[in-house]
Amino acid sequence: AQSVTQLGSHVSVSEGALVLLRCNYSSSVPPYLFWYVQYPNQGLQLLLKYTTGATLVKGINGFEAEFKKSETSFHLTKPSAHMSDAAEYFCAADSGTASKLTFGTGTRLQVTL
Amino acid sequence: NAGVTQTPKFRVLKTGQSMTLLCAQDMNHEYMYWYRQDPGMGLRLIHYSVGEGTTAKGEVPDGYNVSRLKKQNFLLGLESAAPSQTSVYFCASSHWGPRAKNIQYFGAGTRLSVL
């Protein structure tokens, strides 16, 4: 069975600092991988996705993620955090069956002045 | 273009009551999904549908039923609500086609409390 693990349920960074949110997947076949963001009292919005090809994927709002097959990881980064980045971030994997997604447990990002 | 619309946004039920959550999408998507979101557990798939008239069980289907009578609508029913069903429910839809192009689009959620 496929699983997605997000290390750290809460991450706090200072404004302007590097954001690093960790995601590891467990799958016999590399899945398609996604990062979604959820702002308070809203639904999920796609940040970026990896399917095939280039392993460094750029998304919206300055975020990017790198797929590393050898480490079964898909960590999300942003060079400089902004107050508006405060939200909950979910990593997800596509099983390939009806495009069903398996989600990680989420990481809440806090950005401080 | 509204995308995915969920009705209602909030609801409070008493144990044993029934209700139906409605999800409507205007993107002509084939696939639709119902998830529940609980603190520390991420989103878990309840049921999904790959087309009009079809439904299938997800990870946590017990206590829920679904119907997809029209392509644009996906209904989630609770026949006899239990406190364990207190959660935030999200509907999503996705295009059918090349897997690389499939992205799930989410509604704003329904916050349900069962007392």
pLDDT (0 to 100) of residue B1: 61
pLDDT (0 to 100) of residue B36: 97
B108 touches chain A (CB under 8 A): yes
pLDDT (0 to 100) of residue B82: 97
The conformation of residue A70, written as its DSSP 8-state character, comes to G
Preceding omega of B8 cis (within 30 degrees of 0): yes
Distance (Å, rounded) from C-alpha B85 to C-alpha B78? 9
pLDDT (0 to 100) of residue A41: 84
Q: Per-residue b/e over A46-62, b at no fewer than 16 CB within 10 Å?
A: bbbbbbeeeeebebeee
Residuewise pLDDT in 10s, chain A (113 residues):
678 999 999 999 999 999 999 999 987 666 789 999 999 888 999 999 998 888 899 999 999 999 998 999 999 999 999 999 999 999 999 877 777 889 999 999 999 99
pLDDT digits (tens, 9 = 90+) for B3-28: 999 999 999 999 999 999 999 999 99
A44 and B94: CB-CB below 8 Å?
no
Backbone angles phi, psi at A20, to 5 degrees: -135, 115
B27 sits in the region (left: phi over 0; alpha: psi -120 to 50; else beta) called: alpha
Structure tokens at A4: 């997605």
| Residues in B touching A44 (Cβ below 8 Å) | 43, 90, 92, 106
The conformation of residue B84, written as its DSSP 8-state character, comes to G
B56 or B99, higher pLDDT: B56
pLDDT (0 to 100) of residue A2: 78
CB-based contact B12:B31 (threshold 8 Å): no
The SS3 of residue A88 is: strand
Asked if the model's pLDDT at residue B101 lies above 80, the reply is no
Q: Which of B31, B41, B43 sits opposite A99 (nearest CB)?
A: B31
pLDDT digits (tens, 9 = 90+) for B53-89: 999 999 999 999 999 999 999 999 999 999 999 999 9
Asked if the model's pLDDT at residue B95 lies above 80, the reply is yes
User: Chain A: nearest CA to B81, how far in angstroms?
Assistant: 23
| Residues in B touching A35 (Cβ below 8 Å) | none
Distance (Å, rounded) from C-alpha A72 to C-alpha A61? 25
A32 and B103: CB-CB below 8 Å?
no
B41 and A101: CB-CB below 8 Å?
no
Q: What percent of chain B has pLDDT over 90?
A: 87
Q: Which residues contact A102 (CB under 8 A, 6 or more apart)?
A: A2, A3, A4, A92, A93, A95
Computed over every residue of chain A, the mean pLDDT equals 92
pLDDT confidence of B99, banded at 50, 70, 90? low
Asked if the model's pLDDT at residue B51 lies above 70, the reply is yes
What are the strands, taking DSSP E only, across chain A? Answer: 3-5, 10-14, 19-21, 24-26, 32-38, 44-50, 56-58, 64-68, 73-78, 87-94, 101-103, 107-112
Distance (Å, rounded) from C-alpha A86 to C-alpha A84? 5
Backbone angles phi, psi at A55, to 5 degrees: -85, -15
